[in-house]
Amino acid sequence: MRHIILPVLLLAATLLHAENGYRLWLRYDAIADKQLQNTYSKQLRWVLADSTSATLLAARRELQTGLTGLLAHPVSFTNTLHTEGTIVIGTLHNTIIQQATATENMQALGDEGYCILTRKKGNNTLTIVAANTDKGVLYGTFHLLRLLQTQQNISKLNIFSKPRIQHRLLNHWDNLNGTVERGYAGFSIWNWQKLPGYIDQRYIDYARANASIGINGTVLSNVNANAWILTDDYLQKVAALANTFRPYGIKVYLTARFSAPVEIGGLKTADPLDTQVQAWWQQKAKDIYSYIPDFGGFVVKANSEGQPGPQNYGRNHADGANMLADALAPFGGVVMWRAFVYSNETPEDRFKQAYNEFTPLDGSFRKNVLVQVKNGPIDFQPREPFHPLFGAMPNTPLMMEFQLTQEYLGFSTHLVFLPSLFKECLNADTYAKGPHTTVADIVSGIADHHSLSGMAGVANIGSDINWCGHPFAQANWYAYGRLAWDYTLSEQQLAGEWIRQTFGNNKKLVENVQQMMLASREAVVNYMTPLGLHHIMGYGHHYGPAPWYDKAPRADWNPVYFHRADSTGIGFDRTTTGSNALAQYKPAVQKQFGDVATCPEDYLLWFHHIPWNYRLSSGRNLWQELCYKYYSGVDTVRRMQHTWQQMKPYIDSERFEQVSMLLAIQEKEAVWWRNACLLYFQTFSRMPIPKGYEQPDHTLEYYKALKFPYAPGN
């Protein structure tokens, strides 16, 4: 019997510690370096923690879980100071923290900031986590645990941190039937059928993960909204989630379908200037706040891609946003009105339409309205220039919308580390107030002195056991939250932090995997849309290449609309000789992008129709450079595969094999992208693929014939 029990116990232990990715970056495994573990144990021997609120209790639980795991022994809580190594966490209500922070400007940390300090009190060395509010203490606690997970020196801490962005949200495009639009990691994690009575542990772990990176809001429903989310039956379910998230500093938001007064309210109109419609929304706001006292507000997609909006009634976006803002204002709620609008009836370049619709309304929105703008002017492409609205509406707070789910970047089978995309946009110079007025300055409110600011990330989260489908897709969720808190963080730091918390602290592991991650986004741009090509993905599902497609019901859903390849060249002319979209930028930006000689080659085909024989800085002509880029993208993926194989000794077998299989899929699909695009564009250039490159193993007709009626995320 003894011989049977032992293997069973060993199997149970193995399953208990299975590395399936569920724990994300909050693994808290025992520190392998025994000397470091002992050092930390001496510095963090006792914990004196306030526990007077649900949020402080959450911080205390996290500290207990984290320290017990990392230090491999139960944490000891105390009510008094001991002679060695005490952590004290709490607000200024705590006398010890008052004394420790007496010389600091705590007011400057605001409602969410915190400090982590090393202080001497007699012979005792204290580690202080202090804040003005319980939320700040929670954020500081997670920061301290991050320092331990990444094995930093904590003997002389003097950290002060506060968020640069006020509203830091995940936007879930989850539908009430459990599907997720543009979701590639399974179904929705919200089980509406079991709510409000059943609170899945996953909801709590979701809140923990978000709080650990500073995310303070979640939009539960798809921007292609369903009015039923606003009914009493569903508001009870939403309230149950809000109650679960509240201790972690997270507010819930909902998408508001503009036609809800008609669809669930029994009215004959949703005209925002109709007094009955206004009264309906005011009552609806009261109802929501009766269920959820700290409800965050509404996100609205209106008059875009078939969604109803104020223009259905001859009104403008400000009319619609202000009606909802007035309903929410008595309760402190905000409206996030999306600027992703374009009309098939408008012959203008799709690039220009949001700017044309919104800039005349600058200054006419209520003070609790944010206009939510995608990072680029088309639609979450692998690379886009910054949206011209940034810097063009100084009297209106503009919030950023990034996409974490990889709708146009290979879904959840491609390893793509997105902070380089985020930073590329945030660091772009708008010249709105002269040189060095970045997009980040606009979004944070610094440039125009707005107190209201926001950033949204379209979530890549689903029911897959590892949350995001691809183990490395977790890094984009992590990095987005960290950047929303502090957009000055570098891609290198974010990658390093995530690797150390997710896989381990081995130097060789961190350096090599970091190189993979930092190279991955440029690789995807190269094998999908190099030199400024854009929106050449498959129609509807956006899976794989289809630059030849021209059968969509509207012109700007066709890839041929965007690349405009012909016998003379390729690219979309957005200069004065073309659509003149460049006129929407400040003169300095126009000048740089408008001249072929000064336009960055990364954006060349965004703004210019370039002859096939045009010479680029490399000395290669345009066709040769396209070939070089497409082939180099594939080569980078193959190097990533090689690097990953070298990491086998440092990675658990489960995640190693999973990533190995996904990289093989990525390599296969990168080759597909390269071959299909070059064979198609070759029909216009009439030039050969240069010698020395591996030749396509299928014909163009083969690639054109591929069909994907059940591609995910549609």
Catalytic residue among 111, 305, 652, 654: 305
Catalytic residue among 50, 407, 448, 556: 407
Order of strands, sheet of 158-161, starting from the edge strand that comes earlier in the sequence: 76-77, 46-49, 86-91, 124-131, 114-121, 158-161
Nearest C-alpha neighbor of 574 from the set 355, 371, 403, 340 = 355
* Amino acid, single-letter form, for residue 606: W
Helix (H) or strand (E) holding 370: strand 369-374
> Has 305 been annotated as catalytic?
yes
Query: Rounded to 5 degrees, what are φ and ψ at 454?
Result: -160, 160
Task: Look up residue 446 and give its DSSP letter.
Answer: T
Tell me the three state secondary structure of residue 456.
strand
Rounded to whole angstroms, how far apart are CA atoms 238 and 251?
A: 11
> Has 566 been annotated as catalytic?
no
Query: Rounded to 5 degrees, what are φ and ψ at 400?
Result: -85, 140
Helix (H) or strand (E) holding 478: helix 474-485
Quick check: 460 and 452 in contact, CB under 8 A? no
Omega prior to 293 cis, within 30 of 0: no
Written as six digits, the tokens of 581 are 């979209």
Please give the full DSSP string across 278-303, using - where no structure is assigned. Answer: HHHHHHHHHHHHHH-TT--EEEE--S
> Has 407 been annotated as catalytic?
yes
Quick check: 370 and 389 in contact, CB under 8 A? no
Written as six digits, the tokens of 375 are 């990072």
Nearest C-alpha neighbor of 177 from the set 164, 163, 187, 169 = 187
Rounded to whole angstroms, how far apart are CA atoms 49 and 69?
A: 18
Rounded to whole angstroms, how far apart are CA atoms 676 and 536?
A: 11
Quick check: 263 and 277 in contact, CB under 8 A? no
| CA–CA distances in Å: residue 537 to residues 186, 423, 529, 549, 676 | 22, 24, 9, 9, 11
Catalytic residue among 294, 379, 635, 652: 379
Paired strand residues for 537: 545
Just list the catalytic residues. Answer: 305, 379, 407
